[in-house]
Structure 1
Amino acid sequence: MSTQADSKAQTVWRRRVFYIPGYDPIHPRRYRELYRKEGAAQAAISGYEIALSPKTTKGPYGWHVSATMGGQKVQTDVEALVWSDIVRDSMSHTIPATYGALLRTAWAYIGTGALWRLMRLRKGPVIAALYPVLMLLVQALLALGAGFGLWRGVTALAACCAPSVAGAAPYLGLVLGLGVAWGLLHWFKKQDSKFFAYYLMHDYAYSARHRGGNPPELEARMAAFGEQIAEALTQAFDEVLVVGHSSGAHLGVSILADLIRAGRVPAQGPELSFLSLGQVVPMVSFLPKAWRLRADLAFLSQREELAWVDVTAPGDGCAFALCDPVKVSGVGCEGQRWPLVISAAFTQSLSAARWKELRWRFFRLHFQYLCAFDRPKDYDYFQITAGPLTLGARYDGRGASRSRIETAVNKFRSVVP
């Protein structure tokens, strides 16, 4: 099978990729192994060669990729920009703290009216946001129900079979009931690798805690990421590609906006490219204090210093599929150039059998952008990150998806406090 590189002149021989993950507490080796496994699968399907080896650049975590596509050889260094330690620290370790976060997060989205406006865009990610709230409430009700049932049972049993201790039975039943309720809540928490209720609750709570603003520790980490990208832009690469997945997409927007404002993107340096995947930008930009993000979206959308392509898919129920993150946030303008909004079209780029296998695995589908497609169209993560074309060259002349959503439904559109 031929690749797109067959019909276009090579523009990349050396590339630097910076991958910004979403809200994920897992060690970044997961992304290297995912790249290794899925890259090999896509290479076998699409008829090119791709191989991983240890990293050759500075940075805390990354890998090197050697690829041959359409007879064109490319060397790529990938760096995962790690903030999983911040994620882990932000995840409340106690049950009461998690339920407290539930109440604050619900108020942040419902009290401001953001939830109802988000539902006008895509119901999938809103349902995903409501899921942990409902699941945690169900768990609490089941625990309380079990505890109440035990209390009533002990009281009734004592009244029937041991009248002499019937007066103390309610107190004993209360202690036992509370113990059972607490034990059941702990059991649910230990089973969260199956339910994902605590994990998702912490995810949404992290953005809602500051009503759309970035916590200081995240701002400091973003500045450090910017330094790494700025250094790469001074080196002998043909392209510096920033990939932001899920929550990492809006981090990428702000990091790149800061670099351009500071004049740190050299005119004669590598091509600067930004690929946002499975973005959930409205979950943050629709909150009242997301002034920085809205300003960065407006700024980045007009710049000539980069090419920005936004890829989502209606089959991904966790993303705001085909929603132009700039326009729906209410900060689009006449001079908007970016992003180019396109669909990964899961139902077309995956075979019927593969789609049937994955369609109800919502979290797995949210990572499909980083994986192999058995019927690939013009989106191929491995050709983008390891192939012989810059992002801009690859999608030059490609129109935006006709079914994209551009309606400005955000209530909060100011870019300054």
Structure 2
Amino acid sequence: MTIFKRKVFYVGGFDPRGVRFYYNLAKEQLGRYADKTGEAVTMSSRRNASPIRSDWTIRNDTADATTDYSFLRWEDIVQQAWIRNPVQLGLRAARVYAGYFRLFDFATVRKLATGPLVTMLYPPILSILLPLLLALPVFLIALLWLPWWLALGLGLVIGGAGAIPLLDAIRAPWLLRFAVFNGEFGDGEGSPALQARLDAFADEIAKDLHGDHDEVLLVSHSNGSILAMLLMARLLERYDGILPANFVLVTYGHCIPLVACRRDAVRFHARLRYLSRQDFRWIDIGSPPDGAAFFGANPLLLVGPSPRPRIELLSPRFHRFYEPETYHKGWRNKYEIHFDYLRVGDRVSPLDLPSLTASARGIEASVAAFRTIA
């Protein structure tokens, strides 16, 4: 008989790579966990439980623990929203950022965290300035032989081409697509396709919510945390505000204020107000150096002064679990920092996702163990 049984439902971020990438990442990182702990951890093959859900099983024979893991899929919606044409991306981004400057509460966001504000603004700024800076010397040199209009055209073409790999290195196009997706969230419910997918996610969770597990975790990462708010509202409404005592919401690197701080996201605000009146356990893990996450920010305080959910805001303290030479820092590694929640560092943390899914500790015990680490 298994000593500890866990159920995990995972909602990922705005990433077109989907379940295959995350399954391989989980398998790789659980291998690192096993190597560093000496525990015998295995992971089953991936199986399709439904068109929108892929399952696998994580087994820790040393600790006699089993995790039934369900990856809730929405990468097809991301792929449809993934703008490939750079001209179209630029035009859509220009329209979305105009909306941000008109409707976004920058003052509140700045009080919550400056890092996400920088991350939000630097892609459009650099996408304009970098090609122009590279074009300028080409233009000036070409003026020696060509008419100004030909020199200008040549400079812009070469400057634009030269900027592409530099912008890709700092993930500017990805961040622009991310901003466009969230900027086009409308009143905060997303597209009809996304709303239907969230309804289907609630149906999938309902199948196993009251099973014979010691704990049930709804885990979200990055943009998935925005979806998790809408999903949590659906679950609580379905069960009259009462979820099982062993249910915990876990958010990694949440970016909920990107929608919550839009003045036009009225339905999202209503969802947050509803959640703020409910009683459930929520553990948020966000890193201060993560420029895409709102570290230490309770998004429910944006809609009221005394939210009821039992939320705990934690830093993963990556600097404690990585050696200096492997610790992700600097602008080029901001993207990697945002994914470190899903990895095992040089030292195993009780709160990284592989540890949460492989150990025989419940999440409350994992938080307690994390607090004892100097």
Superposition TM-score, scaled by structure 1 size: 0.77
Among candidates 221, 230, 244, match of residue 245 of structure 1:
221
Which residue of structure 1 aligns with residue 303 of structure 2?
A: 330
- What is the correspondence of 1:49-64 to structure 2 with a 5 Å cutoff? 49-55=40-46, 58-59=49-50, 60-64=53-57
Number of residue equivalences: 366
Structure 1 residues 398, 114: CA separation in 2 closer, same or farther (over 3 Å shift)? same
Give 1:225 deviation, angstroms.
Answer: 1.4
Measured in 1, the distance between the counterparts of 2:369 and 2:270 equals: 28
Which residue of structure 1 aligns with residue 204 of structure 2?
A: 228
Give 1:58 deviation, angstroms.
Answer: 1.3
Give 1:73 deviation, angstroms.
Answer: 1.1
* 1:359 lines up with 2:329 in the alignment: yes
Measured in 2, the distance between the counterparts of 1:364 and 1:286 equals: 26
C-alpha offsets along residues 124-148 of structure 1, whole Å, 9 cap, x if unaligned? Answer: 1111111211121124425764785
**8 Å CA contact 1:101, 1:205 repeated in 2:** yes
C-alpha offsets along residues 78-127 of structure 1, whole Å, 9 cap, x if unaligned? Answer: 22222222222212232332222232232222223523331222111111
**8 Å CA contact 2:4, 2:65 repeated in 1:** yes
Measured in 1, the distance between the counterparts of 2:276 and 2:47 equals: 33
Which residue of structure 1 aligns with residue 292 of structure 2?
A: 318
Partner of 2:345, secondary structure, is coil
Measured in 1, the distance between the counterparts of 2:290 and 2:130 equals: 26
- What is the correspondence of 1:401-412 to structure 2 with a 5 Å cutoff? none
Q: Name the amino acid aligned to 2:254.
A: Q
Measured in 2, the distance between the counterparts of 1:97 and 1:230 equals: 40
Measured in 1, the distance between the counterparts of 2:358 and 2:258 equals: 31
- What is the correspondence of 1:191-340 to structure 2 with a 5 Å cutoff? 193-211=168-186, 213=188, 214-263=190-239, 271-304=246-279, 306-327=280-301, 329-333=302-306, 336-340=308-312
**8 Å CA contact 1:241, 1:385 repeated in 2:** no
* 1:390 lines up with 2:366 in the alignment: no
Structure 1 residues 132, 107: CA separation in 2 closer, same or farther (over 3 Å shift)? same
RMSD: 3.2
Which residue of structure 1 aligns with residue 347 of structure 2?
A: 375
Measured in 2, the distance between the counterparts of 1:12 and 1:220 equals: 37
Q: Name the amino acid aligned to 2:312.
A: L
Structure 1 residues 56, 270: CA separation in 2 closer, same or farther (over 3 Å shift)? farther
Q: Name the amino acid aligned to 1:325.
A: P
Which residue of structure 2 aligns with residue 91 of structure 1?
A: 82
Among candidates 90, 103, 112, match of residue 112 of structure 1:
103
**8 Å CA contact 1:307, 1:392 repeated in 2:** no
Structure 1 residues 155, 388: CA separation in 2 closer, same or farther (over 3 Å shift)? closer
**8 Å CA contact 1:66, 1:386 repeated in 2:** yes
- What is the correspondence of 1:19-168 to structure 2 with a 5 Å cutoff? 19-55=10-46, 58-59=49-50, 60-68=53-61, 71-142=62-133, 145=136, 149=140, 152-156=143-147
Measured in 1, the distance between the counterparts of 2:176 and 2:368 equals: 40
Measured in 1, the distance between the counterparts of 2:274 and 2:369 equals: 23
Percent of aligned pairs sharing the same letter: 23
C-alpha offsets along residues 170-190 of structure 1, whole Å, 9 cap, x if unaligned? Answer: 7xx54x854663465356457
Measured in 2, the distance between the counterparts of 1:12 and 1:179 equals: 68
Structure 1 residues 316, 73: CA separation in 2 closer, same or farther (over 3 Å shift)? same
**8 Å CA contact 1:55, 1:77 repeated in 2:** no
Structure 2 gaps, min length 5: none
Structure 1 residues 255, 90: CA separation in 2 closer, same or farther (over 3 Å shift)? same
Structure 1 gaps, min length 5: 1-9, 157-169, 400-417
Partner of 1:352, secondary structure, is coil
Q: Name the amino acid aligned to 2:30.
A: G
**8 Å CA contact 1:108, 1:211 repeated in 2:** no
| Greater Cα radius of gyration, structure 1 or 2 | 1
Structure 1 residues 78, 135: CA separation in 2 closer, same or farther (over 3 Å shift)? same
Structure 1 residues 74, 197: CA separation in 2 closer, same or farther (over 3 Å shift)? same
Measured in 2, the distance between the counterparts of 1:193 and 1:155 equals: 31
Partner of 1:261, secondary structure, is helix
C-alpha offsets along residues 326-376 of structure 1, whole Å, 9 cap, x if unaligned? Answer: 22x23342x523321111112223333432xx1121110111111113334
